[in-house]
Amino acid sequence: MSLPHALLGLLSYRPATGYELKAAFEQSIHFFWNATLPQIYRTLNQMRERGWVAVTVEHQEGRPSRKVYRVTEAGREELRRWLAAPPEIPQPRDPLLVKVFFGRQADPAVLAAHLKMWRAHYAGLLRRYEEEIAPLIHHYAVLTGAREDARYWSLTLEFGRRFARMAVDWCDAALAVVMQEGKAHG
Amino acid sequence: MSLPHALLGLLSYRPATGYELKAAFEQSIHFFWNATLPQIYRTLNQMRERGWVAVTVEHQEGRPSRKVYRVTEAGREELRRWLAAPPEIPQPRDPLLVKVFFGRQADPAVLAAHLKMWRAHYAGLLRRYEEEIAPLIHHYAVLTGAREDARYWSLTLEFGRRFARMAVDWCDAALAVVMQEGKAHG
DNA sequence: ATATAATATATGCATAGTTATATATTTAAC
DNA sequence: GTTAAATATATAACTATGCATATATTATAT
């Protein structure tokens, strides 16, 4: 499980609340690891129990209190240990590919619609990478002086770009096959 | 969740035991959806409760009994319904990309070792696709006359090929960046 | 002879992840 | 004035997944 370590990583940049961590996820880690808000809160509790993070409750006039989490020295050590451990090979889980695999039993027109939906998703992701994420990385690198970090962020962005491009191309190839099928039998 | 439907799909080709389904998984679905043996047995029980599959216990002299599962008409209907429903967009979960993202805090040499391991994995997968899976699809298509199905199986194989090729190329690009980093600072 | 791998079916426990819900405030839109 | 959205922190219930383990037989290798 990478979630506690992803949170340790984000907190290593600066202390944050659970809500802020969710927002940070959405702009970065989200593209290769996701977590819901309840999951983040529960994981933060576990991390606190293990001494990886410490909490400061900031009381504010009128407003509800903010629980600000920061990494402890034990947490930094755990992050370094985890970074040095060999990463597990991810087990891909892709419902669309399952549907394509048994595609002969589906209506070719419906399958084609699925593929078009997928293509649109990855084409949109590709646009988002260029227009939103790439400038965001540059922005953070300049703003916080994290130029060294930005090089690594860009590597994961590049993976996303290549994956999305590959997915779009594959959809086009698959669509050609499926539509041929539709003409012959549908 | 795609597991019950993946099992319905496999059973739609021919009746099988839980053990045989696990073996079938390993040769096909495994590359885009995985399941452990306990998970398969439990899911088959749930599917039986829902009336999607029926069981025949084959008592064998001396040997332990085989529970052979076959799809019911309700199961076939459920499979068709699921195939027609739009597929969820998969949430990617990749621990290596998390490690790369926070790579600045790791030893460049260790990170390079991770990337080399990953590259070797995907290069091996690529070889396996060519030498094992592609001939297997051809074999099944000829043996069982499932030529129409084979066209769809090949589409998922093609996705695997493109993904693995992309992953190998990205590793090379990432390695170049990380090793540059190692020279400059390590 | 002995050990190991493959066949075959599970249960129990722990971890992980999702959905629904509860609460409370502030800000912006209509 | 009212509604909706965003900020902020959770808990409960459920679903899904993974790992360890138990049992028993047959075939193969050493």
Question: Per-residue pLDDT tens for B121-136?
Answer: 999 999 999 999 999 9
Contact assessment for residue B86 and residue A114, using Cβ atoms and an 8 Å cutoff: yes
Q: Is the pLDDT of residue B170 over 60?
A: yes
Q: Are residues B54 and B131 in the same domain?
A: no
Which chain A residue shows the shortest CA-CA distance from B120? A89
> In angstroms, rounded to a whole number, what is the distance separating the alpha carbons of residues A110 and A159?
30
pLDDT number for residue A60: 59
B170 and B119 housed in the same domain: yes
Partners of B151 on chain A (C-beta within 8 Å) are: 104, 177, 181
B89 is a domain residue? no
Task: Give yes or no: residues A19 and A76 share one domain.
Answer: yes
Tens-digit pLDDT profile for residues B55-113: 998 765 555 578 999 999 999 999 999 999 988 888 888 999 999 999 999 999 999 99
Residue A64 identity (one-letter amino acid): P
Q: CB contact, 8 Å: A9 with chain B?
A: yes
Would you say A13 and A31 are in contact if contact means Cβ atoms under 8 Å apart? no
Segment B45-60 mean pLDDT = 87
Of A51, A84, A117, the residue at which a domain comes to its end is: A84
Query: Which residues lie below 8 Å from residue B72, measured CB to CB, with a gap of 6+?
Result: B51, B52, B53, B54
Query: Would you state the pLDDT for residue A66?
Result: 81
Residue B150 has pLDDT above 60, yes or no: yes
Q: How high is the pLDDT of residue B111?
A: 96
With beta carbons less than 8 A apart as the criterion, state whether B79 and B5 touch: yes
Whether B56 contacts B68, CB under 8 Å? yes
Model pLDDT for residues A142-162, shown as the tens digit of each residue = 888 888 999 999 999 999 999
pLDDT value at residue B184: 76
What's the confidence (pLDDT) of residue A75? 94
pLDDT of residue B61: 54
Pair B79, B119 in one domain = no
Same domain, A112 and A167: yes
Q: Is residue A151 part of a domain?
A: yes
Looking at the structure, do residues B12 and B52 belong to the same domain, yes or no? yes
- A67 and A106 assigned to the same domain: no
A115 and A136 together in one domain:
yes
List, as own/partner pairs, every contact residues B54-58 make where C-beta atoms lie below 8 angstroms and the sequence separation is at least 24, other chains included.
Answer: B56/B15
Could you tell me the residue range of the domain that residue A17 belongs to? 3-84
**A38, A43, A48, B84, B127 from A18: Cα distances, Å:** 9, 10, 13, 38, 44
The CATH number of residue B16's host domain is 1.10.10.10
**What residue in B sits closest to A36 (Cα-Cα)?**
B91
The answer as to whether B49 is a domain residue is: yes
Write the CB contacts of A96 (distance below 8 Å, at least 6 apart in sequence): A114, A115, A118, B87, B90
- Chain B residues whose beta carbon lies within 8 Å of the beta carbon of residue A86: 113-114, 117
Instruction: Please check the confidence at residue B10 and state whether its pLDDT lies above 80.
Output: yes
pLDDT in tens, B133-146: 999 999 989 888 88
Residues A112 and A76 both lie in one domain? no
- CA torsion A152-B93-A87-A133 (nearest 10°) is 0
Identity of the residue in B86, B95, B113 whose CB atom sits nearest the CB atom of A90: B95
Confirm if B98 and A2 have CB atoms less than 8 A apart: yes
The list of chain A residues with pLDDT below 70 reads 1, 59-65, 186
Query: In terms of domains, do B108 and B38 share one?
Result: no
**Is A25 a domain residue?**
yes
Write down which residue in B84, B104, B130 finishes a domain.
Answer: B84
Q: Which of B98, B116, B140 to mutate to test the interface with A (most CBs of A within 10 A)?
A: B98
Collapsing DSSP states into helix, strand and coil, what is residue B67? Answer: strand
Min Cα–Cα distance to chain A from B44, Å:
18
Unique residue bearing structure tokens 């679905």: B29
Tokens of A64: 């509800």
CA distance A74 to chain B (A): 15
**Domain boundary, last residue among A55, A84, A113:** A84
C-alpha angle A18/B93/A106, rounded to 5°? 125
Q: Check whether residue A99 and residue A77 sit in a common domain.
A: no
Residues of A in contact with B115 (CB under 8 A): none
Out of A60-69, B40-49, B113-122, least confident range: A60-69
| Residue B99 Cα to chain centre, angstroms | 24
Which residue in A34, A102, A151 is closest to B177 by CB distance? A151
Same-domain status, B79 and B106: no
Per-residue model confidence (pLDDT) at position B80 = 94
Q: Whole-angstrom Cα distance, residue B183 to residue B18? A: 53
Residue A159 counted as domain residue = yes
Q: Is residue B136 part of a domain?
A: yes
B129 touches chain A (CB under 8 A): no
- Cα(B151)–Cα(A59) distance, rounded to whole angstroms? 63
Chosen for mutation from A7, A78, A104 (greatest number of chain B CBs closer than 10 Å) is: A104
Give chain A's domain count: 2
Specify if B90 maps to a domain.
no
Q: Is residue A89 part of a domain?
A: no
